[in-house]
């Protein structure tokens, strides 16, 4: 039996400080080969800073990083040709055509002309760029620019692809097509680390880490995280949802409340349904309370609530 491949990414105690600000705080992370691993968190949670350290663009303040067997930041130069990096901001040249952008990247990666032509033709077909080859990148739509950026990031067939909020500026159909392309890459053996603040995208990942204020607050498969949710998720119907929300948010056993249409979605400590019903009725509000299945947003609310409690917030 073949030995199991070592992880693609291992980080231990990874921290980054900018003066008095701790952007990443003692992060432990393991990403296995050929998996789609997600970073879920709001803006400012440390996702982008972590990705920049993992690809050797930013030196950590503390901790150890090993990526594809390379120790960072010492081996950052050797790692460059083995990874791809795609940012949320389009990073290719607006005043060059699609063809010229890809030709330029092939030259940067020292791909021989014949091999470059064959690979670019393959990417034209794979990402529907052939009919756009002579268009200036600056004239493309959001979805077209995203396909070009992905083609550029994988042109040299990287073993590891790091994507920082890659779908922030595209429509739902383009997002779906983009994720199909990511799973094709993973099936072909590439490892992907994708940061997002979108819950539906996080649910697509094989495993994910939830970050908040630079700290890892949850880690596992989406299904396992939802099953281990430390609380109950409830749907509450009542005639005055805004008034009910204001009341519920003041109760200590309530971790989070959100209005979804005409209903409230409430994350509360286990076994507190009767207490919530009593509080609403005492305030003159009739309510129907129904348990519902947890989702990743509930997991995120619970995890970040726990962090605030630990920090005395």
Q: What percent of the chain has pLDDT over 70?
A: 96
* CATH class of the structural domain 9-226: alpha beta
Beta strands in the chain (DSSP E): 9-18, 21-31, 36-40, 62-67, 70-72, 83-86, 160-164, 191-196, 207-212, 215-220, 232-237, 254-260, 263-268, 288-291
Could you state, in order of their start, the residue ranges of all structural domains in the chain? 9-226, 230-293
CATH of domain 230-293: 3.30.70.100
Among 34, 6, 28, 69, residue whose Cα is nearest residue 161: 34
Q: What is the pLDDT of residue 142?
A: 87
Confidence of residue 2 (pLDDT cuts 50, 70, 90): very low
**What is the structure's pLDDT at 1?**
38
Residue 152: is its pLDDT beyond 50?
A: yes
This prediction has a pTM of 0.87
Please tell me whether residue 277 adopts helix, strand or coil conformation.
helix
The band of 3, judged by pLDDT with boundaries at 50, 70 and 90, is: low
Ordered DSSP codes for 81-114: GGEEEE-SS--S-TTSBHHHHHHHHHHHTT--HH
């Amino acid at each position: 039996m073949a030995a199991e491949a070592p992880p693609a990414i291992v980080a231990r105690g990874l921290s980054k400080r900018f003066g008095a600000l701790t952007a990443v705080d003692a992060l432990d992370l393991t990403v296995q080969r050929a998996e789609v691993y997600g970073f879920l968190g709001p803006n400012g949670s440390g996702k982008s800073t972590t990705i920049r350290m993992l690809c050797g663009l930013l030196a950590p303040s503390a901790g150890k990083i090993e990526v594809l067997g390379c120790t960072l930041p010492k081996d950052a130069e050797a790692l460059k040709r083995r990874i791809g990096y795609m940012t949320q901001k389009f990073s290719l040249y607006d005043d060059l055509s699609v063809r010229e952008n890809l030709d330029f990247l092939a030259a940067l990666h020292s791909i021989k002309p014949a091999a470059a032509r064959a690979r670019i033709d393959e990417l034209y077909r794979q990402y529907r760029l052939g009919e756009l080859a002579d268009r200036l990148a600056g004239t493309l739509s959001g979805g077209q620019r995203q396909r070009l950026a992905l083609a550029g990031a994988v042109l040299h067939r990287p073993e590891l692809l790091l994507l920082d909020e890659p779908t922030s500026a595209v429509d739902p159909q383009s997002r779906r097509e983009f994720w199909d392309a990511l799973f094709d890459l993973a099936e072909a053996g590439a490892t992907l680390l994708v940061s997002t603040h979108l819950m539906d995208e996080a649910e697509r990942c094989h495993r994910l880490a939830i970050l908040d204020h630079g700290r890892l607050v949850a880690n596992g498969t989406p299904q396992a995280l939802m099953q281990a949710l430390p609380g109950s998720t409830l749907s509450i119907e009542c005639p005055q949802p805004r008034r009910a929300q204001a009341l519920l948010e003041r109760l200590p056993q309530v971790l989070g409340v959100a209005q979804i249409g005409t209903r409230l979605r409430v994350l509360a400590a286990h076994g507190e349904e009767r207490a919530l019903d009593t509080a609403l009725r005492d305030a003159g509000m009739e309510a129907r309370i129904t348990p519902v299945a947890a989702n990743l947003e509930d997991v995120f609310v619970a995890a970040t609530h726990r962090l605030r409690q630990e920090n005395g917030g």
